[in-house]
Homo-oligomer: A and B are copies of this chain.
Amino acid sequence: MADKHELRDKGLRLTPQRELVLAAVRELGHSTPEEVAEKVRLTHPGINLSTVYRNLETLENVGLVQHTHLGHGGATYHAAEELTHLHLVCGKCEAVGDAPLDVAANFVNALSDEYGFKTDVSHFAIYGTCSNCQ
């Protein structure tokens, strides 16, 4: 398990719970802490929701996981490797679509050049109305 280094290098331990949380995030794609907990409980029923929250935070600090705000309030998590697209959230049907990051390349560059602002387009969703709902 290569992830072990990321953790151990910072004095953190690779516990079964932590492995399960990471595995769940990788399998689920976007998912809320609640969904991660549910997934993990399929094979390890005793895991506590607090533990999931704590591990998501820990894994995020280590850089194995990241979170995105899709709206409504709560954050959703996904594996860091998968962060190759931006999220298009439809305000009507609530669907979350994907689009490649390079659609935003010009936009990102403009903000960088004109305002010195380094944008992470995938951290927040892009809100609007999808093609099906217009």
Contacts and interface: CB of A to CB of B under 8 A. Distances in A.
Interface of A: 69, 71, 73-74, 88-91, 97, 99, 103-104, 106-107, 110-111, 114-121, 123-131, 134
Contacts of A126: 111, 117, 119, 121, 124
Contacts of A69: 69, 71, 124
B129 A71 contact: no
Contacts of A91: 120, 123
Given A71-B124, A90-B117, A116-B134, 16 more contacts: A73-B73, A91-B123, A99-B115, A103-B111, A103-B114, A106-B107, A106-B110, A115-B131, A116-B130, A117-B130, A117-B131, A118-B134, A119-B127, A120-B128, A121-B126, A124-B127
Nearest to A131: B116
A84 to B, nearest CB: 16
Q: How many copies does the complex hold?
A: 2
A117 B129 contact: yes
A74 B71 contact: no
A88 B117 CA distance: 8
A74 B127 CA distance: 16
